[in-house]
Amino acid sequence: MATAAAAPEDTAIRGNTRFFTIMAFVMSFIIVAGFVVNLAFARSTFDVPWPYHVHGVIFMSWLGIYCGQHLTASQQNWALHAKFGKIAYLWVPLMVIFGTVIMVVVARRTGGPFFFHVSEFLWSNTMLVWLFGGLTFWALSRRRYTGWHRRLMLCGMAILTGPGLGRLLPLPLMIPNAWLITTICTMIFPVIGMIADKRKHGRVHPAYWWGLGLYIAVFAISVLLAHSSFGMGITEQVITGTPGAERPMEAFLPPGFAM
């Protein structure tokens, strides 16, 4: 029924891509800006184990693929657009796999950023990167239905803005709600899309309700799991005997910390 209701918009002119192209570049810019600012202020370094570098190359390459998809669509170069889509089919599984791996590596190496609860960081990040993969594959499977395809892609990409936003926000000042605040901020992008739909079409496309609804649901479940006895037990098993187990499980301010 939802697909049938969306049919008039899905069969609209495919060249109407300006909003989605702008959103793609805005989200990509925020991600890159977050990492650049951290490097500029010496909060990050390239002197890290190899999984960090592999993860960084794979995820930063996705920004090129994602923006390339929108540029080719805006130019109505559908043949090249389809080629980017084929690359995405191969790239997204890599992102899910290495996104999961890096969460375990970071949890064991440092316990995650000090302003996040260790179990929340491990469980929520892992589940959300899998949700990104699910939403993106759903979007790719609906590529013939432009309304669904573009909006589901946007919802999936919004999840990835978390690390960029987290590096731009003053998260130490937001303890113990830093993770909640960061995640809510990433949800602003689908909400912007919903507002744009309402203004232009008089209604919100169902893809946004599904995409944002799943995002909220998976996030809520991940936090509940993270704080459950089962979730805490898994987290402790992952970090036991590693440097990550030496920090408090809860978010905290390191001694002598200053912004």
Q: Is residue 148 part of a domain?
A: yes
DSSP characters for 162-211? HHHHHHHS-GGGGTTSHHHHHHHHHTHHHHHHHHHHHHHHSS--HHHHHH
pLDDT tens sequence across 135-173: 999 999 998 898 999 999 999 999 999 999 999 999 999
Question: Which pLDDT value is given to residue 16?
Answer: 64
CA pseudo-torsion sign 213, 216, 222, 228: negative
Entry pTM: 0.90
Q: What is the pLDDT of residue 38?
A: 85
Q: Would residue 189 count as lying in a domain?
A: yes
Q: Is residue 31 part of a domain?
A: yes
The answer to whether the CB of 251 falls within 8 A of the CB of 121 is: no
Q: Amino acid identity, residue 53?
A: H
Mean per-residue pLDDT pooled into runs of 10, the chain (259 residues): 43 65 97 91 81 94 95 88 90 97 97 96 98 97 91 97 94 95 98 95 96 98 98 98 97 81
The answer to the question of residue 251 being in a domain is: no
Domains contained in the chain, number: 1
Q: Is residue 6, in this structure, part of any structural domain at all?
A: no
- Residue 255 phi/psi, 5° resolution? -55, 135
Is 254 contained in some domain? Answer: no
Range(s) of the domain holding residue 141: 16-246
In a domain, 233, yes or no: yes
- By the 8 A CB rule, do 66 and 157 touch? yes
Q: Does any domain span residue 252?
A: no
* Cα–Cα distance measured from residue 197 to residue 213, given in angstroms and rounded to the nearest whole number: 16
How many Å is the Cα radius of gyration of the chain? 19
Q: What is the pLDDT of residue 192?
A: 97
